[in-house]
Amino acid sequence: MSFLHEMSTKGVFPDFVTYNTLIGGFCRVGRPKTALELLHKMQVCGQHPDLQTCAILLDGLCKNLHFSEAMPLFQEMEEKKVHLNIAIYSILIDGICNTGRLTTAKELFNSLPTKGLQPDVRTYNIMVKGLCKEGLLNEVREVLEKMEENGCSPDHFTYNTIIQGFLQHNETSLVVKYLKIMVDKGLSANANTTTILIDLLSTNQADKILQDFFQKSV
């Protein structure tokens, strides 16, 4: 901030790169309100924020759970006819899920085709994570089916999230099903999934279906 002030006293004016760097930096250290002040300063100085600026700030506000500031920013972007891409909507949907407003997140997710947008793998993964967190496992399976129908291939994050969700709700037969699919696709369990499975097997709490799967795999 001292350098920013020094620039102005020397007649050197910050550009988009300068502002975006500062906004991103303040968001990363948990100071999104300072980042928001920089956005307003940017506008006062005659610099109109671009899509990248808005994306950085929106992501920072959501990750720091400043949803009351994130939503007006998003609405302002819509009102100004900023071309909002799927990355912007993914950021917002993730932020909404993290504040526990899953119904609102689902409504926005389902409205994407009407906006001329298709979810990408990140968007689907965000919804899978949110649904797993709330224990809505039937809806998780529906989202996975829709994902594949739309030609978007699930990745290792998708399957690991699903497997962890089903493990937490003791849906062992489905855990085995998705483990098999994941392995067949050449994808691997991540550290969290592996830890949960090892803990379950080591305490003899795993049921026979899961035990048989690992005996056959070994």
Q: What is the pLDDT of residues 163-209, one digit of tens each?
A: 999 988 888 888 889 999 998 999 988 998 888 888 877 776 666 77
Give percent of the chain with pLDDT exceeding 70.
96
The dihedral of CA 186, 187, 191, 194: what is its sign?
negative
Task: Taking residues 149-158, report their average pLDDT.
Answer: 94
How far apart (Å, rounded) are the C-alpha atoms in residues 119 and 133? 20
Between helix 51-63 and helix 32-44 the angle, nearest 10°, is 160
Greatest alpha-carbon span in the chain: 73
Q: How many CA atoms lie within 13 A of 185 on its CB side?
A: 17
Contact predicate 42/49, CB 8 Å: yes
When pLDDT is cut at 50, 70 and 90, the band that residue 215 belongs to is low
DSSP 206: S
Ramachandran region of residue 213, left (φ > 0), alpha (ψ -120 to 50) or beta? alpha
When pLDDT is cut at 50, 70 and 90, the band that residue 124 belongs to is very high
Check whether 74 has a pLDDT greater than 80.
yes
Q: Identity (one letter) of the amino acid at 32? A: P
When pLDDT is cut at 50, 70 and 90, the band that residue 9 belongs to is confident
Q: What is the pLDDT of residues 10-25, one digit of tens each?
A: 888 888 888 899 999 9
Residue 130: closest CA among 151, 158, 170: 158
pLDDT given at position 90: 95
How far apart (Å, rounded) are the C-alpha atoms in residues 173 and 178? 9
